[in-house]
Each structure stands twice: as structure tokens, then as C-alpha cells.
Amino acid sequence: MAGEPQPDCLFCKIVSGDIPATIVRETETTVAFRDINPQAPTHVLVIPRVHHPDAAALAAAEPGIAADILREAGHVAADEKIVDSGYRVVFNTGSGAGQTVFHAHAHVLGGRGLQWPPG
């Protein structure tokens, strides 16, 4: 069921503490942790504690938690001291866009120049 932890979801296992991660921030609704394959000097994932397969599904079902993710992305950027130099918040939705874990999450990227368009 949407919102419920999924036994085969990597990010649900991080939320539950069954899989370790380098956590940088936690709130009642979100967990932020360092990406294990960073694409920039700062690469932190911000995920909801509830399971939804992608950002669109999360926003439709629980818009307040979607907003929490964006707010936490800003806090991560401030904590990582990348606000002044600029940072990117990315939601990949679907395998064709590069989503590999089907639990909604935002990538916070910064600490180097980020070209546009990406990819």
C-alpha cells in the first residue's frame, strides 16, 4: 500500500535502520544521507520516511511531505555551505530519467560547477 514501508526497498531499509547510511539530517518526515556514488563534492539524498515510488506520486498523495523534502534540501545546502556557490535539487522520475531506487527522493548536488543542460 502507498505510504507503507516496502520490504524490498533499499530506502525503506535505510529509514528503518536495517541498512546503514551516512545520515546528515533527520526530521519527523525525512531522512537525508550521503549518496554512495557521489556525482559532485556534495551529493546528499533527501527521502521521505513514507514509501511512494516517485516524486509525482508523493506530491499527489502527501503534498506536505513533498514540501518537507524541498525544505530539507535547502537545509542540507546550508549545512554543506553550498548556498552561495549554488546547488541543484533533482528528482529523477522513471528509469528513463535515471531513477534506480523507486522510493521518492531528491538529490542535492553542489560544490562544483553544474552544467546545463544536464546529462
Query: What amino acid positions are annotated as catalytic residues?
Result: 105
- The enclosing H or E element of 107 equals strand 106-110
68 touches 30 (CB < 8 A): yes
Contact call for residues 6 and 12 (beta carbons, < 8 A): yes
Say how far apart CA 119 and CA 112 lie, in whole Å.
Answer: 16
Cell of 60: 499527489
Residue type, 67: A
Q: Which three cell numbers stand for residue 119?
A: 546529462
CA distance 55 to 42: 21
